[in-house]
Structure 1
Amino acid sequence: MTTYNNISIDGLNIFYREAGAKDKPTIVLLHGYPASSHMYRDLMNELSDQFHLIAPDYPGFGNSETPAIDKFEYSFDRLAEITEHFLQALGLNRFSLYVQDYGAPVGFRIASQHPDWIQALIVQNGNAYEEGLTPAWQAFRDLWSDRSEATEAPVRGFLTRDTTVFFYTAGTKSAQNINPDNWNLDQSFLDRPENAAAQMELFYNYRANLDRYPQWHEYFRTHQPPTLIVWGKNDPFFGPEGANAFKRDLKNAEVHLLDTGHFALDEEGEAIASHIRRFLPANIAFQ
């Protein structure tokens, strides 16, 4: 059974989902854009007999608080800091880390700062290499090089309903396989007061993640965390080259390219759950 919880972290209300017995191995699940912990709802139900699962919403996402940009720094450094403090507040200091999309820059900051916390990594369309960024990122690169009204305008299109639907349906075997509750829920959060400004700050700050790539590669090479990569190979934003690139630095990374898009759990959730059930007991101390 999944429970739905709130906790105050650095003065902000942070929402999180929790499932499974606390004496089981823990998996922390960090969501992507434009999603929330909702993206993990089925996986948490599927794995809760074998694992303890925790999935928070970042500030500005899901059911967590969305402070105004003059009261909160919307940067990936700050999202990682909030998430780190969240984990500390829950007493979590030994777990496997599942990251997707924005979850990768948040999670890899935490993992490289606290390598002793990490039992294993599970990476689903969460980028850490330049070659993983497809041409769909050009509008963002233009914004990063010269932020102005002209370069912001195309990126604001990523806040629209059509783009949210595209995130979920592009590259899938069939759009009929995807529950429209996904984009309806996400769009309702994106349309909240203050949220568009918050997301634009994160779009602009994403450039800082590329600067962190060498640091994360060094973490991979030095600590060699067991890593399972389950990647929607038809993702229009993070290409399969980004999945295979992990093998340069992680000697035993296991890569599975799945015939679906950005949110691979929606079509390949059963396959991903099966990989996790097999991979984690073989690679971490297990109860």
Structure 2
Amino acid sequence: MNPVTYRTADVDGFEVFYREAGDASKPTLLLLHGFPTSSHMFRELIPLLAGHCHLVAPDLPGFGRSALPPRDRFSYTFDRLAQVIGRFTEVIGLDRFALYVFDYGAPTGLRIAMANPGRVTAIVSQNGNAYEEGLSDGWNPIQRYWREPTDANRQALRALLTPASIRWQYEHGVADTAQVSPDGSALDACYLQRPGADDIQLDLLLDYASNVALYPAFQAYFREHQPKLLAIWGRNDPFFLPPGAEAYQRDLPNADVRFLDTGHFALETHAGEVAGAIIEFMGR
């Protein structure tokens, strides 16, 4: 048995909640979630991997059970998320680790990898985009906000934060939506109802433009350091298209690219398949 423990780390005064499992003497996999969820999204994956590696899954700042300071006391940008999580790895004593990046976890984790290439041993990208061809038309209203950061364009994005929209993100592209537990989307919606959480998410949607601007730097990191990479993708993702997964092989010819017949939140329906691929990948 490999029980999951639930901890909080003090990262220079900022509280980061995290889940941990597995033998710390084994290779570490740092699991970084995306929008609008938390480390709860790894609840089924962690037990499947805990006998094979050491797992650490933090909640990003402003998400889940990590601290949610007001916007006038904390800058909600991807640079800042990466700074906190990068420092978190130092505080809890992670010297070297592989990354599992999903959605927002990708630009967060790739910033950490670029700053610390010798500490990152491998990357698993599950619908974690780093190429413009991976962006679907679903990004159009968000890109409009990047071009014209008006209040009207900001308010239009509140539609993405409703419980119905969150549930749609979980179910879209899934053949049998009865397989998708209601717990994940309900918990995400609950966290988003906290005072100020909605505006924090709108700030991050605006700052996502900084990630696209960094795509060439991420790609240069791939070419220079050639990290081992597994891209395992829900092919029916409404936000990140399959060409975004295939593009990794342009800079990483040995990248392992696999597709699953599911949507954005692939772990909701294919945790076993993802775990099997990671065990094989980490074994190599």
TM bracket, shorter-chain basis: over 0.9
1:92-141 Cα deviation digits (max 9, x unpaired): 12111000000000000000111101111000001100010000000001
CA displacement at 1:10 relative to structure 2: 2.8
CA displacement at 1:194 relative to structure 2: 1.3
1:17-49 Cα deviation digits (max 9, x unpaired): 000011111100000101100001111111111
For the residues of structure 1 that align with 2:267 and 2:106, how far apart are their CA atoms? 16
What TM-score, normalized to structure 2? 0.98
CA displacement at 1:251 relative to structure 2: 1.4
8 Å Cα contact 1:30/1:37 also seen in 2: yes
Query: What is the match of residue 193 of structure 1?
Result: 195
CA displacement at 1:4 relative to structure 2: 0.3
Query: What is the match of residue 270 of structure 2?
Result: 268
For the residues of structure 2 that align with 1:186 and 1:196, how far apart are their CA atoms? 12
For the residues of structure 2 that align with 1:107 and 1:52, how far apart are their CA atoms? 17
Query: What is the match of residue 145 of structure 2?
Result: 143
Query: What is the match of residue 93 of structure 2?
Result: 91
CA displacement at 1:145 relative to structure 2: 0.5
Query: What is the match of residue 180 of structure 1?
Result: 182
Which piece of structure 1 moves more, 6-15 or 220-229?
A: 6-15
For the residues of structure 2 that align with 1:66 and 1:175, how far apart are their CA atoms? 32
1:45-124 equivalent positions in 2, closer than 5 A: 45-124=47-126
Query: What is the match of residue 249 of structure 2?
Result: 247
Residue type of the partner of 2:161? L
Residue type of the partner of 1:275? A
8 Å Cα contact 2:9/2:92 also seen in 1: no
For the residues of structure 2 that align with 1:202 and 1:58, how far apart are their CA atoms? 12
1:173-201 Cα deviation digits (max 9, x unpaired): 21101000011100000110110111111
For the residues of structure 2 that align with 1:192 and 1:244, how far apart are their CA atoms? 38
For the residues of structure 2 that align with 1:159 and 1:182, how far apart are their CA atoms? 14
Query: What is the match of residue 8 of structure 2?
Result: 6
Secondary structure (helix, strand or coil) at the match of 1:227 reads: strand
For the residues of structure 2 that align with 1:191 and 1:238, how far apart are their CA atoms? 26
Structure 2 regions of 5+ residues with no counterpart? none
List, as ranges, runs of 4+ consecutive aligned residues in structure 1 with deviation greater than 6 Å.
none
8 Å Cα contact 1:99/1:124 also seen in 2: yes
CA displacement at 1:153 relative to structure 2: 2.2
Residue type of the partner of 2:23? A
Secondary structure (helix, strand or coil) at the match of 1:236 reads: coil
Residue type of the partner of 1:213? Y
1:204-235 Cα deviation digits (max 9, x unpaired): 00000011011100110011111011100000
1:163 equivalent among 154, 162, 165: 165
CA displacement at 1:281 relative to structure 2: 1.1
Query: What is the match of residue 219 of structure 2?
Result: 217
For the residues of structure 2 that align with 1:49 and 1:126, how far apart are their CA atoms? 25
Number of residue pairs matched?
282
RMSD over aligned Cα, in angstroms? 0.7
8 Å Cα contact 1:67/1:194 also seen in 2: no
For the residues of structure 2 that align with 1:233 and 1:148, how far apart are their CA atoms? 33
For the residues of structure 2 that align with 1:59 and 1:67, how far apart are their CA atoms? 9
Which piece of structure 1 moves more, 8-17 or 71-80?
A: 8-17
Secondary structure (helix, strand or coil) at the match of 1:168 reads: helix
For the residues of structure 1 that align with 2:95 and 2:200, how far apart are their CA atoms? 29
For the residues of structure 1 that align with 2:77 and 2:222, how far apart are their CA atoms? 23
Secondary structure (helix, strand or coil) at the match of 1:116 reads: coil
CA displacement at 1:280 relative to structure 2: 1.0
Residue type of the partner of 1:57? D
For the residues of structure 2 that align with 1:205 and 1:275, how far apart are their CA atoms? 32
For the residues of structure 1 that align with 2:14 and 2:221, how far apart are their CA atoms? 30
1:203 equivalent among 186, 202, 205: 205
What TM-score, normalized to structure 1? 0.97
Query: What is the match of residue 285 of structure 1?
Result: none
